[in-house]
Amino acid sequence: MPTKEAPSRRFYLTLSAYCLGQAVVWGGLTVIGVPSRVEQLVARDRLGIAVGAIAGLGALAAGLGLILIGALSDRWRGSSGRRRPFVLAGALLALPGFWGYATTTTFLGLLLSVTWLQIAVAVATGPYHALIPDLVPQDRLGEASAYQGVAQLLGSAAGPLLAGVLLASAAASQANRGPSTLAAILGGTLVVTAVVTYLGVRERPAQEWPPPKALLETMSFDFRKYPSFGWLIVSRFFITMGFVTALGFLLYYVQFTFANSHARALTLTTEMQVLATVAGLVGTFPAGREADRSSKKRVIYISAGLCLAAGLCFAVSPIFPLAFLSALVFGLGWGAFAAVDWSLACELVPEEETARYMGAWGFSLTLPGVLGPLLAGPLADLVNAAAPGWAGPGPGYRLVMLLSVLYFTAGVLAVRHIREARETAAAGTPPKS
């Protein structure tokens, strides 16, 4: 394997640029952009299932693409590297999806446009995930993950803020240019950040890497050989289920549970996202440094516990200000989790097959985007129709928040089966299954 040099701050910043761009896109679309467009095209009693269908189909296609493209990049021997060409290509392929999101007048058009966006971004994401384990020494993984976490948090705040301001302004003025402006800015951001990462990161020459394996072999995964990585995937799956379930219906939770107008809900949801991000930034770098010094699992337990507490408050809060403040607790926990999440995956991934196994890890991040909304959306619609007025005008969205708490709990329980590198070294034995 190539020797890994100590990264510079410039390396971290250019590597994290694409993470920032991707987070801006999905923050803007998932929290505000897609639910707002769905509300324009679908009757209110079908909102949950409509959002679930869009998120589900797109995430399923993206998840399969992560594994396929990740395996392909492990075999790629282009002169510009194994990973970077896919990052740039995926960003460019996404542009027609942004155009479709902004211009479509039908729900089917919106469904197909967002699905195309998911597939295109997946072309970049699988190979991009492999750049950290390819290039960063193991004792710097926590630091690298912290930079990724900050980029993710900043993008996750900037995207909803941008979408909320543009769409709320368009709704107040009864103009139709809000989605078009949003799509243009998001598409430009994705391409620019992909170019920064492409030009700023230098990969090792292809001849320094082991020869590629047969395609059929690249599509198989031996989790008996790497049991801790398998348990990491299980844990990340359930924790992401909790995250996407809560985030995907946050706008409707704010709007219908607390009887806000659509324009007011856009503003409040944006403010909650910003508050959560500011809180997350406070804990990201300290959590990353602590993960390098001691136990990544310990940081995950604490951070997920904070998210659990916030989720419970969302589910039962009788007044909106209490739910609003819970966003601060959730952000603090999610920021710490984001700092450790990448580093633990990079520590456990097999070094010679990074993109393939990181593609499987990435699939555990996208599959919840299929199952979470598909389960929560119809459930919310059913409860809202069966018990209108119970626990407020939108009781189904309270139940969605409670469901996210159950997912977080399952994810935390799976963490106990993971053995970090320091635990394996101390025991002098391979990780247990």
Lowest mean per-residue pLDDT among 160-174, 189-203, 212-226, 292-306:
212-226
Residue 212 pLDDT greater than 70, yes or no: no
386 contact partners, CB below 8 Å, separation of at least 6: none
Place of tokens 């630091």: 143
Band of the pLDDT at 188, cuts 50, 70, 90? Answer: very high
The residue that leads in pLDDT, 141 or 275, is: 275
Counting residues of the chain whose pLDDT is more than 90, the rounded percentage is 14
Average pLDDT over residues 372-390: 77
In this prediction, residue 431 carries a pLDDT of 45
Band of the pLDDT at 9, cuts 50, 70, 90? Answer: confident
Residue 325 pLDDT greater than 50, yes or no: yes
The residue that leads in pLDDT, 181 or 203, is: 181
Band of the pLDDT at 295, cuts 50, 70, 90? Answer: confident
The residue that leads in pLDDT, 369 or 253, is: 253
DSSP 8-class letter at 33: I
Nearest to 373 by CA among 400, 347, 391: 400
The residue that leads in pLDDT, 211 or 8, is: 8
Residue 92 pLDDT greater than 90, yes or no: yes
In this prediction, residue 368 carries a pLDDT of 79
Band of the pLDDT at 4, cuts 50, 70, 90? Answer: low
Instruction: Give the three-class secondary structure for 156.
Output: helix
Instruction: Give the three-class secondary structure for 392.
Output: strand
163 contact partners, CB below 8 Å, separation of at least 6: 27, 28, 29, 31, 32, 33, 36, 182, 270
Residue 11 pLDDT greater than 70, yes or no: yes
Residue 291 pLDDT greater than 60, yes or no: yes
Determine the Cα angle at 180 with ends 178 and 185, to 5°: 95
Band of the pLDDT at 423, cuts 50, 70, 90? Answer: low
State how far the Cα of 258 lies from the Cα of 267, in Å rounded to an integer: 14
257 with 394: CB under 8 angstroms?
yes
In this prediction, residue 433 carries a pLDDT of 38
Residue 424 pLDDT greater than 90, yes or no: no
Residue 78, by phi and psi: left (phi above 0), alpha (psi -120 to 50) or beta? beta
Residue 97 pLDDT greater than 90, yes or no: yes
Residue 27 pLDDT greater than 80, yes or no: yes
**Cβ count near 428 (within 10 Å):** 6
The residue that leads in pLDDT, 74 or 312, is: 312
- At 400, list the tokens: 């969605």
Residue 135 pLDDT greater than 50, yes or no: yes
Residue 153, by phi and psi: left (phi above 0), alpha (psi -120 to 50) or beta? alpha
Lowest mean per-residue pLDDT among 5-9, 42-46, 284-288, 425-429:
425-429
In this prediction, residue 167 carries a pLDDT of 81
The residue that leads in pLDDT, 393 or 135, is: 135
The residue that leads in pLDDT, 63 or 53, is: 53
- At 27, list the tokens: 């923050």
Residue 116 pLDDT greater than 80, yes or no: yes
State how far the Cα of 171 lies from the Cα of 208, in Å rounded to an integer: 55
In this prediction, residue 187 carries a pLDDT of 94
Average pLDDT over residues 117-137: 83
Residue 16 pLDDT greater than 60, yes or no: yes
Instruction: Give the three-class secondary structure for 319.
Output: coil
Instruction: Give the three-class secondary structure for 14.
Output: helix
Average pLDDT over residues 346-368: 71
Determine the Cα angle at 367 with ends 95 and 36, to 5°: 50
Per DSSP, what are the bridge partners of residue 389? 392
CB-count exposure of residue 105 (10 Å: 0-12, 13-18, 19+)? exposed
Average pLDDT over residues 343-349: 78
Place of tokens 């290509």: 89
Residue 40 pLDDT greater than 70, yes or no: yes
